[in-house]
């Protein structure tokens, strides 16, 4: 491509003497022309090369996240029954092994998410999506062939280590979507994971009656295999290792202590989102029992209450992500943290289960904007060749909150009181909001 020629003097004179509207038209045409023609010797970056693909990749990522989360969460209703089939007879041991098997997947994902993000920066985002989908399809099918509870736990751990489709999709969408639309895109992507977590237990409630418990895992593996095929044949990516996996020449890399503090604060915030949502999980059945629900209906009512927050998040996730695009990520983060804390408090004073479900739904609506806004903010703070690895650490923080939340909630409920779980969680959310505001203000002061 030849360099642009200097404008001739007579053209400049005609522009200066033209009416104002004509000047605007000429200038707009020149801007549009220059935007469509890169400077000589400067290659288009990763976002520009994938501008034609990111929307289609987004919706395939939504489908893949939905199917994988359905398959991972559908075992919740029958996991204790499967543990019993594998030879565990003591009721306390069944509960213990069920908890270990369920949490093993999240632990595995938390460990390997930064590694897969780093490899995505080096080799591309699509290979990581294919790796996650194919790996999870194979492991999910093998879980249905386990012969001991140890094998079940190890296979669930392996599913987390090699899987993480939703995490890989977050890295792909977070790096391909234009910066001014990344909040909306990440919000739409989270709808797939949230809806999968919501539908999974419902599917797990009736599918074992049709195909058996072991057959249910084979069906889950087949569904993930469909997502793998869609990823292989429909996802498009223009990735150049020589351009996208190295530091751009002459570009300043933000490595100041202010940036590191802000990124660390955002990682804590991501952990806090899942911690706040999961802190009630160990006590929810007991708490609902104290509200007068009959023992025979406890499991069903507890499922409705737990699903309420995911349903609320589905309604507002994309809207709050778009709000972060317009107003800025920090305003949405601080606002959502404070509103979530405010909605958390009345949950300690409810007298009916439907009141708790309604408040959990409102809490889900307020929490929905946090993860898209946090991911958008993190992306803005790092250079392109480190975006994948940093978003991988962000995913690890979320899964850490998913593990820590039930531990904190269970200990507080056992040693202090069930209602105090809500008070402590609300206080942590307020502290997190204050931390975000303080660190962001210092970041702005140091950058000016």
Tell me, what's the pLDDT at 74? 85
What mean pLDDT do residues 378-384 have? 83
What is the structure's pLDDT at 241?
Answer: 84
With contact defined as beta carbons under 8 Å apart, do 107 and 169 qualify?
no
Average pLDDT, the chain: 83
Among 214, 241, 268, give the residue marking a domain's end.
Answer: 241
298 and 225 inside one domain: no
Residues 218 and 308 in one domain: no
Verify that 290 and 164 share a domain, yes or no. Answer: no
**In sequence order, what E strands does 76-160 have?**
none
Whether residue 100 is contained in a domain is answered as yes
Q: 254 with 384: CB under 8 angstroms?
A: no
Angle at 31 between CA 29 and CA 34, to 5 degrees: 110
Mean pLDDT of 180-189: 92
Query: Confidence class of residue 35 from pLDDT cuts 50, 70 and 90?
Result: very low
Model confidence at 28: pLDDT above 70: no
Distance CA 97, CA 219 (A): 23
CB neighbours of 107 closer than 8 A, spacing ≥ 6? 157, 160, 399, 403
Report whether 247 contacts 253 (CB < 8 A).
yes
Higher pLDDT, 423 or 206: 423
Enter the tokens of residue 281: 């999980």
Do residues 264 and 139 share a domain?
no
Question: Are 268 and 199 members of one domain?
Answer: no
Q: What is the pLDDT of residue 229?
A: 96
Between residues 28 and 82, the one the model is more confident about: 82
How many structural domains is the chain composed of? 2
Give the pLDDT confidence score for residue 247 in this predicted structure: 57
The domain spanning residue 319 has which CATH number?
1.20.1250.20
Kindly report, residue by residue over 388-422, the tens digit of the pLDDT: 888 889 888 988 888 788 888 888 888 888 899 99
Q: What is the pLDDT of residue 8?
A: 44
Q: What mean pLDDT is predicted for residues 292-310?
A: 81
Does residue 343 lie within any of the structural domains? yes
Q: Of the residues 241, 267, 282, which one is the last residue of a structural domain?
A: 241
The whole-angstrom distance between residue 230's C-alpha and the CA centroid of its chain comes to: 20
Same-domain pairing of 420 and 314: yes
* 75 conformational bin, left if phi > 0, alpha if psi -120 to 50, beta if neither: alpha
What percent of the chain has a predicted confidence (pLDDT) above 70? Answer: 86
Residues 308-320: what's their mean pLDDT?
90
pLDDT, residue 301, reads: 83
379 and 351, same structural domain?
yes
What does the alpha-carbon distance between residue 227 and residue 219 come to, in Å, rounded to a whole number? 13
Lowest mean pLDDT among 63-72, 179-188, 212-221, 247-256: 247-256
Q: Residue 27: exposed, middle, or buried by beta-carbon count in 10 A (0-12, 13-18, 19+)?
A: exposed
Residue 302 lies in a domain: yes
Residue 23 has pLDDT above 50, yes or no: no
For residue 42, give both structure tokens: 């400067």
Q: What is the mean pLDDT of residues 137-157?
A: 94
Contact 355, 371 (CB under 8 A): no
In this structure, the answer to whether residues 280 and 388 fall within a common structural domain is: yes
Q: Which residue has the higher pLDDT, 172 or 80?
A: 172
Task: Taking residues 242-247, report their average pLDDT.
Answer: 72
Does residue 415 share a domain with residue 351? yes
| End residue of a domain, out of 182, 216, 241 | 241
What DSSP designation does 154 have?
H
pLDDT digits (tens, 9 = 90+) for 186-237: 999 988 888 888 888 888 878 888 899 899 999 999 999 999 999 999 999 9
Contact partners, residue 356, CB within 8 Å, separation at least 6: 287, 288, 291, 305, 347, 350
How much is the pLDDT for 445? 53
Domain membership flag for residue 262: yes
pLDDT confidence of residue 418 = 87
Answer yes or no: is 8 within a domain: no
Q: Which structural domain, as residue segments, surrounds residue 139?
A: 47-241
In contact, 266 and 334? CB cutoff 8 Å: no
C-alpha to C-alpha distance for 228 and 26, rounded to whole angstroms = 49
Position with higher pLDDT, 359 vs 164: 359
pLDDT band at 286 (very low <50, low <70, confident <90, very high): confident
Judged against a pLDDT cut of 80, whether residue 10 lies above it is answered with no
**Residue 249 pLDDT greater than 60, yes or no:** no
From residue 116, how far is each of 60, 186, 355 by CA, in Å? 19, 19, 41
In this structure, the answer to whether residues 273 and 166 fall within a common structural domain is no
438 pLDDT higher than 90 = yes
- For residues 212 and 260, membership in a common domain is answered with no
**What are the pLDDT digits (tens) for 333-344?**
999 999 999 999
* Domain match, 226 and 301 both: no
Q: Of 282-286, 353-357, 406-410, which one has max mean pLDDT?
A: 353-357
- Return the structure tokens found at 181: 């639309």
17 within some domain:
no
- Supply 443's token pair: 């970041």
Q: How much is the CA Rg of the chain, to the nearest whole Å?
A: 25
- Tokens for 114? 């930064």
pLDDT recorded at residue 373: 93
Question: Token match 């406890």: residue?
Answer: 298
Res. 41 pLDDT band, cuts 50 70 90:
low
- How large is the average pLDDT for residues 130-159? 94
Query: Would you say residue 10 lies in a domain?
Result: no
Q: Is 27 a member of any domain? A: no
pLDDT range class, residue 4, cuts 50, 70, 90: very low
Distances in Å between the Cα of 27 and the Cα atoms of 14, 91, 167, 364 are: 12, 76, 43, 47
pLDDT digits (tens, 9 = 90+) for 72-91: 888 877 888 899 899 998 88
- Percent of the chain at pLDDT above 90? 44
């Amino acid at each position: 491509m030849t360099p642009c020629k200097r404008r001739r003097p007579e053209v400049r004179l005609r522009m200066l003497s033209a009416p104002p509207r004509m000047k605007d038209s000429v200038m707009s045409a020149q801007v549009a022309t220059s935007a469509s023609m890169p400077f000589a010797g400067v290659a288009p970056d990763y976002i520009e090369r994938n501008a034609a693909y990111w929307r289609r990749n987004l919706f395939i990522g939504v489908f893949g996240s939905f199917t994988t989360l359905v398959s991972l969460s559908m075992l919740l209703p029958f996991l204790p029954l499967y543990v019993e089939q594998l030879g565990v007879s003591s009721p306390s041991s069944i509960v213990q092994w069920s908890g270990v098997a369920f949490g093993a997947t999240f632990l595995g994902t938390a460990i390997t998410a930064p590694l897969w993000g780093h490899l995505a920066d080096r080799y591309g985002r699509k290979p990581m999506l294919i790796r996650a989908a194919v790996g999870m399809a194979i492991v999910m099918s093998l879980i249905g062939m386990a012969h001991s509870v140890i094998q079940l736990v190890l296979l669930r751990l392996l599913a987390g280590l090699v899987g993480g489709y939703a995490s890989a999709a977050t890295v792909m969408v977070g790096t391909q979507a234009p910066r001014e639309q990344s909040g909306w895109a990440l919000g739409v992507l989270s709808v797939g994971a949230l809806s999968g977590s919501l539908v999974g237990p419902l599917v797990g409630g009736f599918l074992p009656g049709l195909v058996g418990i072991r057959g249910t895992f084979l069906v889950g593996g087949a569904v993930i295999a469909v997502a793998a095929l869609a990823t292989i044949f429909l996802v498009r990516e223009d990735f150049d290792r020589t351009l996208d996996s190295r530091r751009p020449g002459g570009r300043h890399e933000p490595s100041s202590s202010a940036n590191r503090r802000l990124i660390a604060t955002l990682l804590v915030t991501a952990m806090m989102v899942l911690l706040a949502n999961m802190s009630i999980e160990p006590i929810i059945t007991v708490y609902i029992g104290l509200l007068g629900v009959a023992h025979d209906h406890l499991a069903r009512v507890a499922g409705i209450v737990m699903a309420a927050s995911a349903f609320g998040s589905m309604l507002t996730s994309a809207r709050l992500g778009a709000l972060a695009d317009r107003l800025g990520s920090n305003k949405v983060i601080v606002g959502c943290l404070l509103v979530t804390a405010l909605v958390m408090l009345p949950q300690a004073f409810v007298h009916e289960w439907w009141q708790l479900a309604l408040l959990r739904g409102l809490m889900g609506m307020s929490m929905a904007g946090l993860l898209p806004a946090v991911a958008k903010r993190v992306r803005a703070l790092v250079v392109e060749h480190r975006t994948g690895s940093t978003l991988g650490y962000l995913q690890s923080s979320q899964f850490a909150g998913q593990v820590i939340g039930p531990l904190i909630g269970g200990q507080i409920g056992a040693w202090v009181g069930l209602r105090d779980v809500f008070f402590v969680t609300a206080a942590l959310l307020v502290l997190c909001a204050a931390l975000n505001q303080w660190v962001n203000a210092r970041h702005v002061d140091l950058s000016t």
